[in-house]
């Protein structure tokens, strides 16, 4: 059995990853009309993309959970109610990491998929499929620690 390796990203890493994804979208001539950040980790990069694309009002959050803690995954994601109005809009769904792909699949099954694109800072190469946009490839046994969750991470690791 292999051990989980922790990969700590800095705020500079996050800014670089968001800039890389933003440039990919510009190359594709993709401009979202609405952005949905997946709570909790996807809200920070989603906010950065809303700034890049000057999206002030059509910025939403969707509460979805697959993990209960560090390396403690549920069988199926829990997707809460969504009240954002994205119907007919080019919608970018943003998360911090695309691990198995289960979380995004559950979200895509909830929202109208016809005009939806996905973006994540990190993509785990063992996932069932890829996001439309990502910046960092992650190995199967790597656990990414984002700068906005460092206290939570430290608490959970110390409790194990």
What is the pTM (predicted TM-score) of this model? 0.88
Structure token pair of residue 91 = 């919608």
pLDDT for the residue numbered 104? 87
What is the total count of domains within the chain?
1
Residue 45 is inside which H or E element, if any?
helix 43-52
pLDDT for the residue numbered 128? 86
Strand 59-69 and strand 72-79: pairing? Answer: antiparallel
Structural domain boundaries, residue 66: 5-159
CATH at residue 51: 3.40.50.2020
Residue 144's nearest CA partner among 118, 117, 125 is 125
**Under a CB-based contact definition with an 8 Å cutoff, are residues 41 and 101 in contact?**
no
pLDDT for the residue numbered 68? 53
**Dihedral-angle region of residue 29 (phi above 0 means left; psi in -120 to 50 means alpha; beta otherwise):** left
pLDDT digits (tens, 9 = 90+) for 116-153: 999 999 999 999 889 999 999 999 899 999 999 998 88
Query: Which residues of the chain carry a pLDDT beneath 70?
Result: 1-2, 66-75, 77, 112, 160
């Amino acid at each position: 059995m292999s051990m989980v390796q922790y990969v700590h990203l800095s705020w500079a890493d996050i800014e670089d990853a968001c800039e890389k994804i933003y440039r990919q979208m510009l190359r594709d001539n993709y401009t979202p009309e609405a952005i949905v950040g997946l709570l909790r980790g996807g809200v920070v990069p989603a906010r950065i993309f809303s700034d890049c694309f000057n999206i002030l009002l059509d910025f939403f959050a969707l509460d979805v959970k697959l993990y209960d803690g560090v390396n403690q995954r549920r069988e199926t994601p829990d997707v809460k109610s969504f009240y954002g109005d994205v119907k007919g809009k080019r919608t970018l769904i943003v998360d911090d990491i695309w691990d198995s792909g289960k979380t995004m699949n559950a979200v895509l099954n909830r929202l109208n998929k016809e005009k939806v694109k996905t973006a994540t800072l990190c993509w785990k190469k063992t996932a069932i499929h890829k996001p439309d946009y990502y910046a960092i490839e992650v190995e199967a046994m790597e656990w990414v620690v984002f700068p906005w969750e460092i206290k939570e991470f430290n608490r959970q690791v110390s409790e194990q």
